[in-house]
Chain A
Amino acid sequence: MKVKTASFEEIATPESATVSGAEAIIKCLLKEGVDTIYGYPGGAIMPVYDELYKYQDKIHHVLTRHEQGAAHAAQGYARVTGKVGVAVATSGPGATNLITGIADAHIDSTPVVFITGQVGSTLLGSDAFQEIDVVGISTPITKWNYQVTDASEIPEVLAKAFYIARSGRPGPVLIDITKDAQFAPLEFSYKKCSGIRSYKPVPEINLLQVERAAEAINNAKKPMIVFGQGVILGKAEELLKKLVEKTGIPAAWTILGLSALPTGHPLNVGMVGMHGNYAPNMLTNECDVLIAIGMRFDDRVTGNLETYAKQAKVIHFEIDPAEINKNVTADIPVLGNVNQTLNLVMELLQPNDHSEWHQKFKELYAIEYDKLIQHHLTSKNPELTMGEVIDEINTCSDGNAIIVSDVGQHQMVACRYAKFKTSRSNVTSGGLGTMGFALPAAIGAKMGKPDRDVVAIIGDGGFQMNIQELGTIFQTKVPVKIVVLNNSFLGMVRQWQQMFFERRYASTEMINPDFIAIAKGYHIQSRHVAKRSQLKDAVKEMMEAEGSYFLEVSVEQEENVFPMIPTGASVSEIRLE
């Protein structure tokens, strides 16, 4: 007898009917509330596409122009909605084209279910046409993966896939389904998965640690909060705000924590990390209690670990036990969903005011403002700065847009200067730093939040990494706004060459095509600006446009992003120039 290793809700709709494996897949997606999926067809997934044709009034399948585009679009959708994204591809090259997106979703804890077709089960292991061991390839970059060769397994396996992707610390799941299993008949009934015996999505809360954390916070003289995406994934934004307001503790965000607290909140002291703000980086090495909430002490955040917050007592609120003491030793680890642990700790916290300590952040901000920010935002140079463009978008959207950024200098500038009012408004590739992420992710973001303005901020290099997705925008008419900040360089790499390789600009100069002509080819409204006097009007025109819009801005070619913590340096060695 087969042991039961997972449990399923008993709300099985007894619509038991014989369907094909392919149809069962679609029915599973519908049961999970999926209405939009991204993908690309091919031989081994054709039975599924045939069913998608029949179910096209129920599920919107978006044909991207490359499977990587499908993966990132599904990520963008998941990041803004909090729902599980879905991407579909054929076997072989279709599956391998997904890999970058799977890896990106894995490292940024994004819930996405990937479905790949596979050659018939009798051909497995024979090096058949377009056979690739995608389960093997994706093992280290998935939260779970599984190959289905027997159609009758489909409902249970997909139920588990969705449960695993969304529960606990979310992540990508890949289900590979052989072609014969897509054709074979099964009796369909669906029960949502509610538990897997070997998997504990949320660790038990240790109340003693909650008490210890509260005591440390209450006694702190110079406490500082650093929060990450865990706050967003745990839907704890309101709790964080309450906690910050009750205790008066200055709070900084990591790149993936952006937008979990409004930018304009008086206690929001900006971004930590390599290109973060001066104050929170400097004061990390001065605070007496460091309260880390839903973040994982990535090396881009900590700089040199040997000199990171050594003076501070570290409290780590975290859902994933493997993150505790991984990079930074926690004096007080508080395991659990931050939604629950912050709630518990809140009860024990005394109202406080740390205005004198907060004043230090303001003083350091003033230094950063004088030395950098004012020059970035109100430059006297003839060339436009990236910061000015982001600031103009802030003004024009009143801080209400979803900002999807690619990877490079423009990303850092976008994350430093974009203003957010609501959570889940920042979509960027954090852990993997995937160039080519933004254009497809913006498509998914706009489809996930059609009522919000979605603005993609992309470099001239990254734009050309998934530029083909302009075709998806054209075909689906999804009204995303695309801003390319063109410096004719792979800017971030060029900056490193300038700083650390004596200006040897090896393969970072870009001779670019006529981007406006390309946008025209896709019938996307477009405009190019190079002058300050044109910027305001162009951004306004873009934001007011009904449909999609492409704005190319020529910016200063050799602008550098500062502040910067050079690799290997301490957070308090952050450089302003």
Chain B
Amino acid sequence: MEKKNYTVSIYTENNLGLLSRIAAIFLKRHINIESITVSKSEVNDVMRFIVIVQVTEDQVRKIVGQIEKQIEVIKAFYHTDEELFFQETALYKVRSSDFMKDSGIQHFIQETNARIVAATPDFFVIEKTGRRQETDHLYEKLKPYGLMQFVRSGTIAVSKNEMQISGILEKFNTTNSLS
């Protein structure tokens, strides 16, 4: 089976130790995590993990099964790139001296919707939000200008179709009398 990029979205209770429980599931199967992000989700007190992996569909299906088994995981989904809108943010710190000399690169930044978020006599900080190929492309462009630092966030993604997470929580609230 062919390996592909899969985005695993995991809705969880906000619980200490869950990150290592989830990471261990990947580790045990020697699967490299390309990126991982943890943040609040659309549901109160529910966290959302987004993990990007390059695996076969069979692997990702099994992983999601193991993840869902964890007590504090409410629901996990996996998606291919086509089923998602996703973005990541990259920051590039370049030396002012080299950068100022070249108006071509300044144009490029404007055209590709990157932004200069800080400018000092010594360095510029450029921010670019987009797909991986776009941030990669800018990286290649800026490299000749003395890239002093580069950092990229994990991928964040929302699915085109609905993820039925709130339904699950509502059901719990109605079927169990909570004080």
Interface residues of A (CB under 8 A from B): 3-5, 7, 10, 135-136, 139-140, 143-147, 164, 194-199, 320-322, 324-326
B176 touches which of A3, A7, A136, A325 (Cβ 8 Å): A7
Q: Which of A4, A10, A139, A324 contacts B20 (CB 8 A)?
A: A139
B178 near A4: Cβ-Cβ < 8 Å? yes
Given the contacts A7-B176, A195-B172, A322 and B69 also touching, CB distance less than 8 Å: yes
Interface centre among A135, A143, A196, A199 (most CB of B within 10 A): A199
Known: A195-B172, A321-B65. A5 touches B20 (CB 8 A): no
Selected A-B contacts with CB under 8 Å, 30 pairs: A3-B44, A3-B45, A7-B178, A10-B179, A135-B17, A139-B20, A139-B21, A140-B24, A140-B28, A143-B71, A145-B17, A147-B16, A164-B71, A195-B172, A195-B175, A195-B176, A197-B168, A197-B169, A197-B173, A198-B12, A198-B13, A198-B72, A199-B72, A321-B68, A322-B65, A322-B66, A322-B69, A325-B61, A326-B62, A326-B65
Task: Given A3-B45, A197-B169, A198-B74, check contact A139 B65 (CB 8 Å).
Answer: no
Q: Which residues of A contact B66 (CB under 8 A)?
A: 322
The complex places the Cα of A195 from the Cα of B177 at a distance, in Å, of 10
* 1/0 contact string of B38-78 vs chain A (CB within 8 Å): 00000011000000000000000110011011011110000
Min CB distance A99 to B, Å, is 15
The answer for the CA separation of A198 and B12 in the assembled complex, in Å, is 7
Cross-chain contact B176 with A139 (CB below 8 angstroms): no
Which of A198, A199, A326 gathers the greatest number of chain B CB atoms within 10 Å? A198
A368 to B20, CA, bound (A): 49
Closest 8 CB pairs of A and B: A322-B65, A197-B172, A7-B176, A198-B74, A144-B71, A3-B45, A4-B178, A140-B24
* B contacts, CB < 8 Å to A: 12-13, 16-17, 20-21, 24, 28, 44-45, 61-62, 65-66, 68-69, 71-74, 168-169, 172-173, 175-179
A5 to B65, CA, bound (A): 21
Docked pose: A325 CA to B13 CA in angstroms: 27
Residue of A nearest to B69 (CB): A322
- Is A5's CB under 8 angstroms from B71's CB? no
Closest to A173 in B: B71
Main SS of chain A's interface residues?
mixed
CB distance from A545 to the nearest CB of B (A): 45
Contacts of A135 in B (CB 8 A): 17
Is the pair A194, B176 in contact by a Cβ cutoff of 8 Å?
yes
Contacting residues, chain B, for A4 (C-beta < 8 A):
178-179
- In the complex, what residue of chain B is closest to A145 when comparing beta carbons? B17
Residues in B neighbouring A144, C-beta threshold 8 A = 71
Q: How long is the Cα–Cα vector from A160 to B20 in the complex, in angstroms?
A: 21
In the complex, the answer to whether A198 meets B178 with C-beta atoms within 8 Å is no
| Chain A residues within an 8 Å CB radius of B62 | 322, 325-326
Nearest CB of chain A from residue B178's CB, rounded to whole Å: 5
CB of B114 to closest CB in A, whole Å = 40
Q: Judge whether B178 and A199 touch: CB under 8 Å.
A: no
Closest partner residue, chain A, to B27 (CB atom)? A140
- B17 contact from A3, A10, A139, A199, Cβ within 8 A: A139
Residue pair B28, A197 in contact (C-beta under 8 Å): no
Per the bound structure, the CA–CA distance linking A144 and B65 in Å amounts to 16
The reply to whether B68 and A322 contact each other, CB–CB distance below 8 Å, is yes
Give the CA-CA distance A43 to B92 in the complex, in Å. Answer: 53
List residues of chain B with CB within 8 A of the CB of A136.
17, 20
B residues in contact with A324, CB < 8 Å: 65
CB distance from A202 to the nearest CB of B (A): 13
Give chain B residues whose Cβ lies under 8 Å from the Cβ of A10. 177, 179
Residue of B nearest to A141 (CB): B24
Q: How far is the CA of A139 from the CA of B25 in the complex (A)?
A: 10
Of A7, A135, A143, A164, the most chain B CB neighbours within 10 A belong to: A7
Complex contact A197–B74 (CB within 8 A): yes
Expressed in whole angstroms, the minimum distance between the Cβ of B77 and any Cβ of chain A is 14
The closest CB in chain A to the CB of B73 belongs to A198
Contact residues in A for B21 (Cβ distance below 8 Å): 139-140
Question: CA A326 – CA B63 in complex, angstroms?
Answer: 10
User: B170: nearest residue on chain A (CB-CB)?
Assistant: A197
Question: A196, B71: Cβ atoms under 8 Å?
Answer: yes
Known pairs A322-B65, A326-B65; A5 contacts B13 (CB<8 A): yes
Interface pair A139/B71, CB less than 8 Å apart: no
Determine which residue in A5, A146, A164, A326 has the highest number of CB atoms from chain B within 10 A of its CB, and name it: A5
A168: nearest residue on chain B (CB-CB)?
B69
Bound Cα distance A526, B7 (Å):
63
* Chain B residues closer than 8 Å to A3, beta-carbon distance: 44-45
Not counting A143-B71, A322-B62, A326-B65, a sample of 14 additional A-B residue pairs whose C-beta atoms are within 8 angstroms of each other reads: A3-B45, A4-B178, A140-B28, A144-B71, A147-B16, A197-B74, A197-B168, A197-B173, A198-B12, A198-B74, A199-B71, A320-B69, A322-B69, A325-B61
Chain B proximity of A201: nearest CB distance (Å): 10
Instruction: Determine whether the beta carbon of B71 is less than 8 Å from that of A198.
Output: yes
Closest to B169 in A: A197
Q: Which residues of A contact B73 (CB under 8 A)?
A: 198
A150→B95 CA distance, assembly (Å): 51
Closest to A326 in B: B62
B177 to chain A: which residues have CB within 8 Å?
7, 10
Which residues on A sit within 8 Å (CB–CB) of B44?
Answer: 3
Closest A residue, CB atoms, query B72: A198
CB neighbours (8 Å) of B28 from chain A are 140
Residue of B nearest to A144 (CB): B71
List the A side residues contacting B68 at CB < 8 Å.
Answer: 321-322
CB-defined contacts of B72 to chain A, threshold 8 Å: 198-199
Q: How far is the CB of B171 from chain A (nearest CB, A)?
A: 9
Assembly CA distance A562 to B28 (angstroms): 33
A442 to chain B, nearest CB (A): 31
Q: Which residues of B sit under 8 angstroms from A199, Cβ to Cβ?
A: 71-72
In the complex, what residues of A have CB within 8 A of residue B176's CB? 7, 194-195, 197
Docked pose: A198 CA to B71 CA in angstroms: 6
Q: Which residues on the B side are within 8 Å of A145 (C-beta)?
A: 17
**Closest Cβ of chain A: how far from B82's Cβ, in Å?**
23
Closest to B178 in A: A4
Query: With a CB–CB cut-off of 8 A, which chain B residues contact A139?
Result: 17, 20-21, 24
CA distance A139 to B24 in the complex (A): 8
The complex places the Cα of A252 from the Cα of B20 at a distance, in Å, of 39
Q: In whole angstroms, what is the CA distance A43 to B61 when docked?
A: 45
A198 nearest in chain B by CB position: B74
What CA separation (Å) do A148 and B93 show in the bound complex?
A: 44
A338 nearest CB across to chain B (Å): 18
- Cα A364 to Cα B74 in complex, Å, equals 49
- Interfacial chain A residues near B172, Cβ < 8 Å: 7, 195, 197
Minimum C-beta distance from A9 to chain B (A) = 10
Chain A residues with Cβ below 8 Å from B71 are 143-144, 164, 196, 198-199
Residues on the A chain within 8 Å of B173, using CB: 197
